Amino acid sequence: SDLVENKWGIREPDGEQTASPDEFDIVLVPLLAFDSFGHRVGYGKGYYDRFLSLCRPDCLKIGLCAFAAETKIEDIHPGDIKLDLCLTPDEGFAFN
């Protein structure tokens, strides 16, 4: 598929070919913070939670964060989807 520039200047697929969320084996999730339990804080609006809820249960959810893990995130909502793994510049975390 060809890449076209979106309204933010980011090149993305032209939309002719799309994949359903249940086709993904792995999803990379950018985030601002995470804790040792796999909870995460993203960029708001619940976009990734809605998307991840459509993925298969065996889909590997990997967070990408520039910062170390928080001890515990308090602001957890019923629709929040936990991570399976998280990678930072210094280490990797696996959650059960």
Residue 40: active-site member: yes
Catalytic residue among 25, 80, 84, 90, which? Answer: 80
Q: Which residues contact 30 (CB under 8 A, 6 or more apart)?
A: 42, 43, 63, 64, 65
From the list 2, 11, 49, 50, the catalytic residue is 49
Q: Which of 2, 14, 35, 40 is catalytic?
A: 40
The Cα-based distances of 6 to 9, 47, 50 in angstroms read 5, 18, 22
Q: State how far the Cα of 75 lies from the Cα of 18, in Å rounded to an integer.
A: 33
The structure tokens 């959650």 sit at 95
- What DSSP state is assigned to residue 21? G
Check if 80 is active-site: yes
Q: Is 49 a catalytic residue?
A: yes
Residues known to be catalytic: 40, 49, 80
